[in-house]
Amino acid sequence: MPQTTSLSPLLEDVLRRNAGEPEFHQAAREVFDSLGPVIAAHPRYAEASVLERLSEPERQIIFRVPWTDDRGHVHINRGFRVEFNSALGPYKGGLRFHPTVTLGTVKFLGFEQIFKNALTGLPIGGGKGGSDFDPKGKSDAEVMRFCQSFMTELYRHIGEYTDVPAGDIGVGGREIGYMFGQYKRITNRYESGVLTGKGVGWGGSLVRTEATGFGAVVFAERMLATRGRSFDGARVLVSGSGNVAIYAIQKVQQLGGTVVACSDSTGAVYDEDGLDLDLLRRVKEQDRGRLSDYAAARGTASVYRPGGDIWALAAETHIDVAIPCATQNELDGDAAATLVNNGVIAVVEGANMPSTPEAVRVFSSGGILFAPGKAANAGGVATSALEMQQNASRDAWTFDYAEHRLAEIMVGIHDRCAETAEEYGSPGDYVLGANIAGFVRVADAMIALGVI
Ligand code: NDP
Ligand code: 2IT
């Protein structure tokens, strides 16, 4: 059994220095809880104070974002960019526009991003940003003015060799377009590699839109195979109905599974015989509608549950795999118990930290397969790095080639996590495997670069 080192005093210090940021605390605690064996085995990490340095962002930027609505009223939002770690490459990570966004949210996401990006094996550091702006119910013109104002400050902090933002909740192709346009106008440079998730007609990569959802399902498939299972014939729950959820649903369907439910922040739909993906995409992507609109259009094939708890469905109908793709802490201990007690074999996080710590404990003691977001949803950022590669070489790959690269990367991440868990005495523990494998790559680079 490998030795371990208690990291409690270090963690206590991180919690004290970042008071009032519970999501960052949660993310840090989970990583620290995994690292005892690797710190014990390799004294160089403690000697170089790598963990202390890793948990302090290299730079945190907070700024005012004023914008004018269609009626001429001025609004003020807060913008953030946390440049967490650049040992492996330019800071890389998405922007989230959601009314709940705080500095603590961005720090939790940026911290996770360091390890996730390291796991991809690609040359990208970790960062995250966003705003408490709520795009819901805003006109295109309002969203454009907000994005332009946001970029009017952000542009001075980013660049293809410095920091490369992308999308996250509330930020998709439309927002990236407005922000890229403003960056180009201010700098007078067509610097494609400064943002990823661009439209495929102007520097975007094929498969980036699909990448997070597709990648999570490829990871899940590899994980299921370790127990002789597959998606063929499986019944699946996917929470959320945004970018990650939609393409997770598509890939499960391609692999022969049936996704019977998905959700948004106001309700869930349950389609006993499987979701109608074409209709879902039309309602969500084209019309920017709600799941209630989907259910209304689908008629008797769909049951809409206002405010519904999607995980409770596992007690009512047989479910094999759950893929949370909405937001942090959406799946709690009770929901986890419902899944485990009703025979779910795997939970795969498409979202960032959707399972509470209690839920993760329930999965672990229940002996089911559990893939943490920083491993399973890394396909999005990995394909962003492939987009940067295409931009740098002024090339555009085919869909098939980009998807092949994505699948290769996801299988590699799966296997690295599984092998690392085994090496450190916890076979099957993908949380420990992901945290240690990601940590080792970034920590070794930090040591090589000296105390900076
Ligand atoms: P979208 O904005 O496209 O969709 C988000 C979905 O989650 C919507 O259905 C939304 O419902 C729901 N949701 C958001 N916040 C809440 C909340 N507080 N409570 C309940 N439901 C909520 O975002 P993405 O699909 O891009 O992101 C989903 C998750 O995946 C996030 O955790 C994100 O960090 C993560 N992720 C995204 C990647 C990407 O490439 N986009 C890459 C890796 C991870 P509603 O419309 O009602 O708000
Ligand atoms: O959480 C994430 O990995 C993302 N939102 C994607 C980041 C990126 O740079 O593509």
Residue tagged active-site, from 116, 128, 184, 374: 128
pLDDT of residue 2: 66
What pLDDT band is residue 435 in, cutting at 50, 70 and 90? very high
Nearest to 191 by CA among 164, 154, 157: 164
The string of pLDDT tens digits covering residues 264-316 is: 999 999 999 999 999 999 999 999 999 999 999 999 999 999 998 999 999 99
Report the b/e string of 391-413 with b at 16+ CB within 10 A: beeeeebeeeebbebbbebbeeb
Q: What's the CATH number for 59-191? A: 3.40.50.10860
Nearest C-alpha to atom 21 of ligand 1 is from which residue? 265
CA 6 / ligand 1 centre spacing (Å): 35
Nearest C-alpha to atom 32 of ligand 1 is from which residue? 351
CA 188 / ligand 2 centre spacing (Å): 26
pLDDT of residue 349: 99
Rounded average pLDDT over 358-372: 98
> Mean pLDDT, the chain, as a whole number?
97
pLDDT of residue 106: 98
One-letter amino acid identity for 5? T
**Using a 6 Å cutoff on CB, does residue 23 contact ligand 2?**
no
Gap between the Cα atoms of 88 and 126, Å rounded:
8
CA 377 / ligand 1 centre spacing (Å): 12
Site to probe by mutation for ligand 2, drawn from 105, 108, 198, 212 as the one with most ligand atoms within 8 Å of Cβ, is 212
Superfamily for 211-367? NAD(P)-binding Rossmann-like Domain (3.40.50.720)
The string of pLDDT tens digits covering residues 338-352 is: 999 999 999 999 999
pLDDT of residue 5: 83
pLDDT of residue 308: 83
Locate the domains of the chain by residue range: 59-191, 211-367
CA 233 / ligand 2 centre spacing (Å): 30
Domains 59-191 and 211-367 share a fold: yes
One-letter amino acid identity for 124? I
pLDDT of residue 6: 85
User: Residue 447: is its pLDDT beyond 90?
Assistant: yes
Gap between the Cα atoms of 253 and 251, Å rounded:
5
The percentage of residues in the chain with a pLDDT greater than 70, rounded to a whole number, is 100
Nearest C-alpha to atom 20 of ligand 1 is from which residue? 265
User: Residue 67: is its pLDDT beyond 90?
Assistant: yes
Gap between the Cα atoms of 202 and 83, Å rounded:
26
Q: Which protein residues are within 6 Å of ligand 1, measured from CB?
A: 167-170, 212, 240-245, 264-266, 325-327, 330, 350-352, 377, 380
The string of pLDDT tens digits covering residues 369-384 is: 999 999 999 999 999 9
Q: Sign of the CA dihedral 448, 55, 380, 365?
A: positive
CA 257 / ligand 2 centre spacing (Å): 26
User: Residue 332: is its pLDDT beyond 70?
Assistant: yes
Rounded average pLDDT over 223-237: 98
Rg (CA), the chain: 21
The string of pLDDT tens digits covering residues 170-226 is: 999 999 999 999 999 999 999 999 999 999 999 999 999 999 999 999 999 999 999
User: Residue 387: is its pLDDT beyond 90?
Assistant: yes
128 is catalytic: yes
Rounded average pLDDT over 227-245: 98
* Residue whose structure tokens are 């927002």: 175
The percentage of residues in the chain with a pLDDT greater than 90, rounded to a whole number, is 98
Nearest to 304 by CA among 264, 354, 258: 264
Asked if residues 309 and 335 have their Cβ atoms less than 8 Å apart, the reply is yes
User: Residue 7: is its pLDDT beyond 90?
Assistant: no
Ligand number nearest CA of 169 is: 1
Determine phi and psi for 433, rounding to 5 degrees: -60, -45
**Counting beta carbons within 10 angstroms of the beta carbon of residue 423, is it exposed (0 to 12), middle (13 to 18) or buried (19 or more)?**
middle
User: Residue 4: is its pLDDT beyond 90?
Assistant: no
What the block records as the tokens of 417 is 């996590």
Nearest to 339 by CA among 365, 319, 309: 319
Gap between the Cα atoms of 240 and 235, Å rounded:
17
What pLDDT band is residue 427 in, cutting at 50, 70 and 90? very high
pLDDT of residue 3: 82
